[in-house]
């Protein structure tokens, strides 16, 4: 669910039926003349610049109504600013690493990479999400290793997601080449496919298979690989004008817990815009569970992140779903000091948050700047208290950053996130009971049911009409899907030949 947290700019591909630029619908009314045509243009203009798109408003209402009561708090963003984050499944499960732990099922690497299959399935999933969750959202292009896709297929998949109003983030282990990124981004004739790319790269010492560092012994050994990854995108911007948003993912186990702070300190200015930490869970291939992951808590992990940042990270100011699943803090590095946007210990900050969430519903994804500016102006005119409240918040923010002179230093926006997945052994009985409409009495399983009901990271199943939590997908559905995909897309040459013979027959 990384995307929903901090990306604010997208590429040039626009979604179908967009109302967010003044060119399309307004231009369609210019053929007529007279008062009637003028009124039609004004109606289109008024609709396009409403503070919130009616389709998005309806999707937000449905999402809020579907949330369990325990997460309908003043801090909740789901159902107010966003419908949640989305991900793909069953589209390219294969990976060329052998990580411990590994969240993939044991059959994932027996499935061949097939570009047409990926594009076709992503099209179906995004169409379902668009119909159920509204016309704009963040979505993760995730499965196995995304760079195993041919660059042309990868690009076509990104374009498919954008056509359905999704802002895609491609997930990779980061062991890729600059040539791959150029082929992904630049057409053979030298023109750009995209103005903007978003990638999440996973780096940690539990990952085995990286070229030049097959089995790292500590997190610091991976810093050169982290730096090389960022530099590839720096070259893309310098040589081709392609902007990027980069997130750094890290699985945390008892083995590397005490190195989290060092990773934050040493990598904070490399060029990543987000640092996301995932406490390890017992999900996926059981043969790769090598430690007692429950020897640490979410609070232990968050404390190490705070130690690396050097300040308290006030994650209760905003909420995505259930705090037991997600913690997030937006902020800015003002020189060497990290300044959170909101402090959950400051009542005035919380009042500013409440007013902002009340006034600004939905998002500005795929909205052109003139329309966005007009929407903001209309919102401020409707809620004039935004001006004094916003100015007061700005004064507090600058004061926390060390005063106005401190803001002459380099400013680097940064988001810190923690996502805690649920053990598969708990997901299975909890989900099955939810499907029956039953609330379990066991405290741990009841908590699991609450978290699943509040999940904000979901996968689409157009065949059944469902949108399921990611923990359900990874724990229960991925193993079954991958068994089927082995039959559909066998990786071994012998199996492929046998399938081809059967198809011809």
pLDDT digits 0-9 by tens, 204-232: 999 999 999 999 999 999 999 999 999 99
Reply yes or no on whether the pLDDT at 14 is more than 80.
no
Q: Is the peptide bond before 101 cis (omega within 30 degrees of 0)?
A: yes
Reply yes or no on whether the pLDDT at 5 is more than 80.
no
The answer to whether 45 and 26 are in contact (CB under 8 A) is yes
Cβ neighbour number for residue 69 with a 10 Å cutoff: 9
Reply yes or no on whether the pLDDT at 7 is more than 70.
no
Question: Among 156-165, 370-379, 476-485, which is the least confidently predicted range?
Answer: 370-379
Residue 321: predicted pLDDT: 97
Residue 497: predicted pLDDT: 47
Residue 54: predicted pLDDT: 87
3-state secondary structure of 499: helix
Reply yes or no on whether the pLDDT at 1 is more than 70.
no
For the packed helices 443-453 and 424-435, what is the interaxial angle rounded to 10 degrees? 70
Reply yes or no on whether the pLDDT at 24 is more than 50.
no
Residue 29: predicted pLDDT: 44
Reply yes or no on whether the pLDDT at 127 is more than 70.
yes
**Percent of the chain that is helix, strand, coil (3-state, to 5):** 45, 15, 35
Residue 366: predicted pLDDT: 79
Q: Calculate mean pLDDT across residues 250-260.
A: 96
Reply yes or no on whether the pLDDT at 466 is more than 80.
yes
Residue 34: predicted pLDDT: 66
Which residues lie closer than 8 Å to 171 by C-beta, 6 or more apart?
Answer: 140, 141, 142, 143, 146, 199, 200, 202, 249
Residue 38: predicted pLDDT: 76
Q: Calculate mean pLDDT across residues 378-388.
A: 95
Domain ranges of the chain: 3-18+49-426+454-471
Reply yes or no on whether the pLDDT at 280 is more than 90.
yes
Element (H, E) at 390: helix 386-400
Residue 365: predicted pLDDT: 81
Reply yes or no on whether the pLDDT at 500 is more than 70.
no
- Please state, rounded to an integer, the average pLDDT across all residues of the chain: 90
pLDDT digits 0-9 by tens, 405-458: 999 888 999 999 999 999 999 999 999 999 999 999 999 999 999 999 999 999
pLDDT digits 0-9 by tens, 72-100: 999 999 999 999 999 999 999 999 999 98
pLDDT digits 0-9 by tens, 289-343: 877 888 899 999 999 999 999 999 999 999 999 999 999 999 999 999 999 999 9
Cβ neighbour number for residue 345 with a 10 Å cutoff: 11
Reply yes or no on whether the pLDDT at 102 is more than 70.
yes
Residue 2: predicted pLDDT: 55
pLDDT digits 0-9 by tens, 133-185: 999 999 999 999 999 999 999 999 999 999 999 999 999 999 999 999 999 99
Q: Architecture of domain 3-18+49-426+454-471 in CATH?
A: Alpha-Beta Barrel (3.20)
Reply yes or no on whether the pLDDT at 104 is more than 90.
no
> Which residues make beta-bridge pairs with 88?
none
Residue 493: predicted pLDDT: 60
> What percentage of the chain reaches a pLDDT higher than 90?
78
Q: Which of 179, 245, 174 is nearest to 212 (CA)?
A: 174
Residue 504: predicted pLDDT: 39
**Burial zone of 8 (CB within 10 Å; 0-12 exposed, 13-18 middle, 19+ buried):** exposed
Q: Which of 30, 26, 84, 88 is nearest to 59 (CA)?
A: 84
Higher pLDDT, 22 or 394: 394
């Amino acid at each position: 669910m990384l995307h929903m947290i901090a990306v604010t700019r997208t590429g040039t591909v626009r979604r179908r039926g967009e109302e967010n630029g003044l060119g399309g619908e307004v231009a369609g009314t210019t053929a007529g003349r007279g008062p009637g045509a003028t009124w039609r243009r004004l109606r289109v203009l008024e609709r396009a610049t409403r503070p919130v798109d009616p389709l998005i408003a309806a999707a937000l209402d449905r999402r809020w109504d579907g949330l369990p009561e325990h997460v309908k708090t003043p801090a909740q963003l789901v159902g107010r600013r966003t419908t949640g984050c989305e991900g793909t499944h069953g589209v390219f499960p294969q990976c060329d690493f052998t990580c411990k732990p590994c969240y993939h099922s044991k059959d994932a690497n027996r499935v061949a990479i097939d570009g047409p299959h990926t594009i076709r399935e992503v099209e179906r999933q995004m169409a379902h999400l668009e119909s159920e969750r509204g016309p704009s959202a963040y979505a993760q292009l995730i499965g196995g290793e995304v760079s195993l896709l041919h660059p042309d297929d990868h690009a076509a998949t990104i374009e498919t997601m954008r056509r359905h109003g999704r802002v895609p983030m491609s997930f990779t282990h980061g062991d890729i080449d600059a040539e791959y990124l150029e082929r992904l981004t630049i057409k053979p004739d030298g023109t750009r496919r995209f103005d903007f790319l978003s990638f999440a790269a996973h780096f940690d010492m539990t990952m085995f298979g990286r070229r030049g560092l097959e089995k790292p012994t500590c997190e610091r050994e991976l810093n050169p690989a982290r730096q090389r990854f960022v530099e590839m995108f720096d070259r893309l911007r310098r040589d081709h004008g392609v902007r990027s948003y980069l997130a750094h993912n890290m699985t945390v186990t008892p083995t590397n817990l005490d190195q989290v702070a060092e990773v934050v300190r040493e990598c904070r200015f490399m060029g990543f815009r987000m640092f996301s930490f995932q406490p390890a869970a017992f999900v996926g291939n059981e043969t790769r569970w090598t430690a007692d992951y429950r020897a640490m808590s979410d609070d232990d992990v968050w404390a190490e992140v705070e130690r690396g940042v050097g300040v308290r990270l006030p994650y209760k100011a905003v909420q995505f779903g259930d705090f037991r699943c997600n913690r997030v803090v937006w902020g800015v590095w003002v020189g060497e000091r990290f300044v959170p946007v909101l402090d959950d210990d400051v009542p005035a900050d919380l009042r500013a948050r409440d007013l902002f969430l009340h006034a600004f519903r939905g998002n500005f994804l795929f909205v052109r700047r003139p329309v966005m500016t007009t929407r903001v102006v209309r919102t401020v005119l409707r809620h004039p208290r935004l001006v004094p409240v916003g100015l007061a918040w700005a004064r507090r923010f600058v004061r926390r950053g060390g005063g106005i002179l401190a803001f002459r230093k380099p400013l680097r926006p940064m988001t810190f996130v923690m996502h805690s997945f649920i053990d598969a052994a708990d997901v299975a009985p909890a989900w099955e009971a939810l499907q029956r409409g039953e609330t379990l009495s066991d405290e741990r399983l009841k908590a699991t049911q609450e978290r699943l009901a509040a999940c904000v990271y979901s996968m689409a199943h157009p065949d059944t009409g469902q949108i399921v939590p990611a923990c359900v997908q990874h724990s229960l559905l991925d193993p079954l899907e991958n068994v089927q995909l082995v039959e559909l897309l066998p990786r071994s040459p012998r199996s492929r030949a046998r399938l081809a013979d059967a198809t011809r027959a």
